[in-house]
């Protein structure tokens, strides 16, 4: 069983608790252990980097150093946390002066950054470390006929300068959905921004970005949208009513976490995956797809 240091991030404590629950349930079922970092602090979201970069690096480095102390790779389920810690590690690894300065501060908490742990997004653990074949082999409840729009968002992919991977035309999310037996839906805005923190700092801009995204996925006949980030989930799901109010639309599309989708395919009970805490219910879409599938196969 492979073990990772798990950094849930502030959102997963409450707002995205269902992501936390489903992450733990599905990884356990796939033979992966997520060991929560003992005294993790906030990654800083985008706000620290707006105010002081050195402070932002220090706060991320504290979490990385705690994972290193345990000799484990660090896993973040939130794309924002992932991006912050991934790039903090990059900068500290390539800038010895910066690392020395920050290590001087970390010594106050008896920690040191060495660069020995790698940083992973939770979805990477699924598609790369566990692997699609291993997931497929454990699927007991293939989600046949369910049309799923993969929503990558931004920070799983961008910005990557050195990794040499396909950040413009990735397919791993579609492949993961297909591994669950569901049908990945192709739509134009799968890599576009959900508005992120603009939902607070520029509400009009963010709501219009959310609207474009949702309409694009709905036009492609998606029954659900699947995300890998708590902020994307909140923007796309919880602000649907406000979008409808502002633009006179009638959007009502469920937005779930990829771990919930995988969990259902693995035969885990919806409740254990935190399903039921969304504002736009997920289960009706799942059941409808299953019934359609039954009637198709019966014919």
Residues making contact with other proteins (CB under 8 A)? 10-11, 13-17, 39-42, 44-55, 58-59, 62, 91, 104-106, 108-110, 154-155, 158-161, 167-168, 192-193, 195-198, 200-206, 208-209, 212, 238-239, 241-242, 245, 277-279
Q: How far is residue 210's CA from residue 159's CA, in Å, rounded to a whole number?
A: 21
Q: How far is the CB of 230 from other proteins (least distance, A)?
A: 10
- In the complex with other proteins, the residue whose CB is nearer, 74 or 180, is 74
What order of strands is seen across the sheet that includes strand 32-36?
Answer: 32-36, 2-6, 74-76, 119-121
Give whichever of 18 and 183 is closer to other proteins, judged by the CB atom.
Answer: 18
CB of 111 to other proteins, least distance (A): 8
Nearer to other proteins, 14 or 299 (CB): 14
State in angstroms the smallest separation of the CB of 138 from other proteins.
29
The answer to whether 177 and 147 have CB atoms below 8 angstroms apart is: no
**Least distance between other proteins and beta carbon 38 (Å):** 8
8-state DSSP, 280: S
Q: Is the Cβ of residue 133 or residue 168 nearer to other proteins in the bound state? A: 168
Q: Which of 227, 119, 231 is nearest to 176 (CA)?
A: 227
Closest CB to other proteins among 110 and 297?
Answer: 110
Rounded Cα distance between 171 and 9, Å, is: 26
Work out how close the CB of 200 gets to other proteins at its nearest, in angstroms, rounded to a whole number. Answer: 5
Closest CB 282 distance from other proteins, rounded Å: 12
C-alpha closest to that of 30 among 106, 142, 136, 107? 136
Residue 87's alpha-carbon distances to 56, 222, 227, 278, in angstroms, are 11, 33, 22, 31
**In this structure, are residues 40 and 13 in contact, taking their beta carbons and an 8 Å threshold?**
no
Task: Round to whole Å and give the CA distance between 29 and 259.
Answer: 11
Return the number of the residue (57 or 145) whose C-beta is nearest other proteins. 57
């Amino acid at each position: 069983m492979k073990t990772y240091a798990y950094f849930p991030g502030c959102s997963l404590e409450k707002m995205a608790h269902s992501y936390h629950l489903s992450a733990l349930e599905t990884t356990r079922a796939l033979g992966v252990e997520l060991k929560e970092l003992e005294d993790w602090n906030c990654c800083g979201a985008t706000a620290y980097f707006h105010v002081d970069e050195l402070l932002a690096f220090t706060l991320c480095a504290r979490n990385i150093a705690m994972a290193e102390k345990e000799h484990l790779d660090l896993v973040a389920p939130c794309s924002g946390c992932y991006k912050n810690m991934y790039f903090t590690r990059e900068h500290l690894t390539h800038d010895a002066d910066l690392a020395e300065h920050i290590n001087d501060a970390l010594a106050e908490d008896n920690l040191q950054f060495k660069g020995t742990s790698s940083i992973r997004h939770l979805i990477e653990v699924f598609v790369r470390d566990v692997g699609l074949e291993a997931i497929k082999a454990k699927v007991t409840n293939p989600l046949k006929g369910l049309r799923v729009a993969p929503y990558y968002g931004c920070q799983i992919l961008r910005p990557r300068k050195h990794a040499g991977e396909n950040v413009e035309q990735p397919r791993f999310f579609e492949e993961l959905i297909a591994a669950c037996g569901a049908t990945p839906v192709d739509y134009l805005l799968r890599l576009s921004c959900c508005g992120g923190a603009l939902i607070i700092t520029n509400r009009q801009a963010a709501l219009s970005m959310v609207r474009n995204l949702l309409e694009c996925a709905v036009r492609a006949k998606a029954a659900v949208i699947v995300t890998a980030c708590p902020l994307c989930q909140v923007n796309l799901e919880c602000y649907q009513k406000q979008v409808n109010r502002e633009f006179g639309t009638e959007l009502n599309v469920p937005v779930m976490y990829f771990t919930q989708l995988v969990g259902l395919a693995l035969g885990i009970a919806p409740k254990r995956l935190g399903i039921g805490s969304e504002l736009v219910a997920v289960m009706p879409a799942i059941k409808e797809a299953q019934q359609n599938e039954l009637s198709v196969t019966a014919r």
